[in-house]
Amino acid sequence: MSFKPAITKFADLSVSDQDLVKGAWSAAKAAHAPYSKFYVGSVIEAQNKDGEVQRFSGCNIENASYGGAICAERTAAVKAVSEGFTKFLRISVVCATKPGGSPCGICRQFLREFGGLDLVVVSIQNEANDVCIWKFDDLLPDSFGPEALDF
């Protein structure tokens, strides 16, 4: 099954989405990627049980023991959840080294836990600032989520 994300220019994004992407660019500058040289940043907009909305940034952090690395998306997600913001609304992802791509498989499953199928993913795709916007259900169709465990 193939899907096509919405593609637009950065300049055509809402101010709120532009700020989300700018935050991800900023987060990428803090990445620790001495092995892959793949500097990724992410920002998650999340809501707590009281309805308060905040943004949490993250970068990828590599480790000489490769299994100890963590992606930018999960770094931002862990920060949000640890502060009580467990409903993810939107996420931006950028790679400062080579624009393009979307969250990896592990990140997709991790984000599914807190973002559900309506989570919006915004990603810069190339040097021309083309932006892809996905609904999460398109990135992880027929996914397994918390509701599957409700008895």
Which residues are CB-contacts of 26 (< 8 A; sequence separation ≥ 6)?
Answer: 41, 57
Beta strands per DSSP E along the chain: 6-9, 40-47, 53-59, 87-95, 120-124, 130-135
From the candidates 45, 52, 73, 147, which is the catalytic residue? 73
The neighbour count for residue 11, using CB atoms within 10 Å, is: 8
The neighbour count for residue 70, using CB atoms within 10 Å, is: 18
- Name the residue among 77, 71, 105, 99 with its Cα closest to residue 89: 77
**Residue 83 appears among annotated catalytic residues:** no
Catalytic residues, which ones? Answer: 73
